[in-house]
Structure 1
């Protein structure tokens, strides 16, 4: 497998160039006038309906209407681990009317795990703003006995029941995939990864007794935990999540490498005019600081976070660099 080299100075400048114009949150110097609201804009996402990112996209779409566009639609382009969605935005006109909302892995991890990725997260997109950050969680369903209450007990059960030692995730090569695999490696336990097309199908198979466990965004588990259909054994933050304070972190349980968070980010196609980048950034700043939206998303375990374009560019670069050695350590190559 060939792994991408670290970002060159030229690539990083390319990633940051459009971002710097919006770093202060003020209109860029070369923008002649503020962009007028569009008639129609689309937010493209890869995960299916019912997921956390889907709910978030729809609430944000409502919140940036009519400031950014008179009508904002959300389109789920499901398949190929969200590559269909990302590629659709890459190919869209650079007029600011096609917005990509994506979890980090499609931009920060996939360049290392998909040898024929159909897009370049640096060259093909302009970062606009982060949308939110969230912890991951590891949950078990009815296949796992009720007396299994932590990760050590789960891995002991897996060793005693190797045929059932598995976990699902939203996609191969996703942050949850690697989080679960990193924990299993630290425990010295063989744990079969079962990739799904999104979080919801994985959780439904878990609560239906088809697989033992799932690693996924914390917020996607909350409705199922409330209904008593699954149990959370660990979360991936440095500290316990304020949304599930009774659930210990991986770090507390001795898994020092499994300290991760994930994020959603908004991107526009490369060459989108700076006026549209600025306008979307401003609309998102208002939306993401709206108390009603913040409350609604906190109920699903998502902490909203607006950033400048430059801040998102820097975070993306950091994640691209961070995940390169992790992917390499698993000798992982994904296929669509």
Structure 2
């Protein structure tokens, strides 16, 4: 009888997790940088977990719809929230979410990050960042800047750019930076302060022009692009980190198993090569525990919320 009673209080399903496919909700359009990263990781994670890891793209409201779906799902480890600085930090200062980004989510693992990159359509005459800043200042109306929606990483980067340069931008929101990039290539918008992973292949192909990366060191995969410090905008640094979360209340053993699968993927040389080709930077080994993601998320909320609120950012 004692054994039966103990069995009743053990976490249901934790010992057999996972016994069916896992769904990772990516709150952005398919084909964008977040989607590409998660699909690369999912392909390896299924080998460790012994179950399919499916990516579901749920767009809208700067990613808050997709995150909300994950928050409200059953805390059994089968619905995972993927996101980044925009969805799991900035959105709390922009939207009335109906959920708390810290209290209602369980951190799983910090994922690769990338600096932003300042890029423009090709037919803008500027060839350097200094020339581009001069061109922006000379515009009779604010230049058009694509974003993945209010509060997205590209929008935060644009606000930060405005704050550092004093140049005003006219934001054009999209349902992801993938669609925004298509319009930049087509010359329908002027610029994006974009994730490197979304822009680098188009830069390499000569479809758009790159001016600088928002880091203090050059990219291994594109060493010809200067840093903002080198290009004349010192201190304009911003890294868009990503992560995975589960609904609050998920058993810690399930969190640990999902964390271990993600860490194994990040440790695989083939996966590392794919991620680095996207311009992504792998997280340090000592930052891969769930607690490290939780600490980072809280510190970033303290850093970015005041700027976003001061800018009066509101939902589209």
TM-score, normalised via structure 2 length? 0.89
Find the aligned partners of 1:38 and 1:104 in 2 and give their Cα distance. Answer: 31
Question: Partner residue of 1:190?
Answer: 168
Match of 1:142 among 119, 122, 131: 122
Question: Partner residue of 1:121?
Answer: 101
Report the secondary structure of 2:25's partner residue. strand
Question: Partner residue of 2:258?
Answer: 280
Partner deviation per Cα, 1:255-303 (whole Å, 9 max, x = no partner): 3442111111010011011111111111111111111101011111112
Match of 1:77 among 44, 51, 58: 58
Question: Partner residue of 1:18?
Answer: none
Find the aligned partners of 2:146 and 2:214 in 1 and give their Cα distance. Answer: 16
Match of 2:38 among 53, 57, 61: 57
Partner deviation per Cα, 1:10-40 (whole Å, 9 max, x = no partner): xxxxxxxxxxxxxxxxxxxx98975443211
Partner deviation per Cα, 1:173-215 (whole Å, 9 max, x = no partner): 2232232233234333232122221111111111101111111
Structure 2: gaps (5+ residues): 1-9
Deviation at 1:229, TM superposition (A): 0.6
Greater CA drift, 304-313 or 287-296: 304-313
Partner deviation per Cα, 1:35-70 (whole Å, 9 max, x = no partner): 443211101101111112111111211111143242
CA RMSD of aligned residues (A): 2.0
Work out whether 1:88 is the aligned partner of 2:69. Answer: yes
Tell me if structure 2 keeps the 8 A contact 1:166–1:192. Answer: yes
Report the secondary structure of 2:229's partner residue. coil
Q: Which stretches of structure 1, 4 residues or more, deviate above 4 A after TM superposition? A: 30-35
Question: Partner residue of 2:131?
Answer: 153
Deviation at 1:164, TM superposition (A): 6.3
Work out whether 1:318 is the aligned partner of 2:296. Answer: no
Find the aligned partners of 2:244 and 2:156 in 1 and give their Cα distance. Answer: 23
Question: Partner residue of 1:103?
Answer: 84
Tell me if structure 1 keeps the 8 A contact 2:154–2:195. Answer: yes
Deviation at 1:226, TM superposition (A): 1.9
Deviation at 1:235, TM superposition (A): 1.0
Q: For residues 72 and 186 of structure 1, do their structure 2 counterparts lie closer, same or farther at Cα, with a shift above 3 Å needed?
A: closer
